[in-house]
């Protein structure tokens, strides 16, 4: 892996293959953010292309004051949000309040995802339950639990306060647990 400062400089200097390396390095993060929000593969492909076009056009503005993945993730997140707003798709009630909630400790906080995926049927049920979540909680949950992106990193990408992210994660895990225990995946 090329250090990000070197990669940015190579792209800005228009060195052959540099931008392709940048895209290769960050396309997984971009796809994850965009697809988990919009859930339409064709739209996600277009929005990822738009993200990297915007990155290419504005990379000269990147100041290395945060990791490049945060900056690119923020661009992807903003583009996906604008897409949802144009389509008037609600992100979920949680987005209406950015205040952090003080939530009681609960066993939902410790829901065991690995155990839920022990067999193919359980994995399918888990995927269906995750897909049933609203766009924002779904994206936050999968970034945190499946992509191992830390809460501070998610905060950098989304601009949401860490407490708000924790609240979203808590409520999303609780909904998953309720759906999986009840068998309600409608």
The pLDDT of residue 24: 95
CA-closest candidate to residue 130, choices 36, 45, 31, 33: 36
Long-range contacts of 147-151 (CB under 8 A, 24+ apart): 147/29, 147/32
The pLDDT of residue 121: 72
CA dist., res. 181 & res. 74, Å (int) = 35
The pLDDT of residue 124: 81
The pLDDT of residue 166: 95
Domains of the chain by residue range = 4-86, 93-182
Mean pLDDT, the chain cut into blocks of 10 residues (186 residues total): 89 96 95 92 95 96 91 94 83 42 37 50 82 92 91 94 95 90 69
Q: How many CB atoms lie under 10 A from the CB of residue 121?
A: 8
CA dist., res. 139 & res. 7, Å (int) = 27
CB 4 within 8 A of CB 67: yes
Q: Domain 4-86, what architecture?
A: Orthogonal Bundle (1.10)
CA-closest candidate to residue 176, choices 107, 119, 97: 107
CATH class of 93-182: mainly alpha
CB 173 within 8 A of CB 130: no
DSSP-derived secondary structure for 37-61: HH--HHHHHHHHHHHHHHHHHHGGG
Alpha helices in 59-161 (DSSP H): 68-86, 113-116, 120-131, 135-145, 151-158
Global pTM?
0.72
């Amino acid at each position: 892996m090329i250090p990000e400062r070197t990669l940015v400089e190579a792209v800005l200097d228009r060195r052959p293959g540099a931008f392709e390396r940048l895209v290769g390095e960050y396309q997984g993060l971009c796809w994850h953010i965009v697809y988990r929000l919009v859930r339409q593969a064709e739209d996600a492909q277009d929005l990822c292309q738009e993200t990297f076009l915007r990155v290419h056009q504005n990379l000269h503005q990147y100041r290395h004051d945060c990791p490049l993945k945060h900056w690119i993730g923020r661009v992807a997140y903003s583009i996906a949000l604008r897409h949802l707003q144009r389509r008037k798709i609600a992100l979920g009630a949680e987005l209406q309040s950015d205040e952090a909630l003080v939530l009681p400790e609960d066993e939902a906080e410790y829901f065991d995802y690995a155990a839920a995926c022990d067999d193919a049927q359980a994995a399918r049920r888990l995927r269906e339950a995750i897909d049933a979540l609203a766009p924002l909680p779904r994206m936050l949950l999968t970034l945190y639990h499946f992509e191992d992106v830390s809460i501070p990193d998610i905060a950098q990408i989304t601009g949401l306060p860490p407490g708000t992210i924790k609240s979203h994660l808590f409520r999303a895990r609780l909904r998953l647990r309720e759906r999986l225990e009840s068998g309600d995946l409608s």
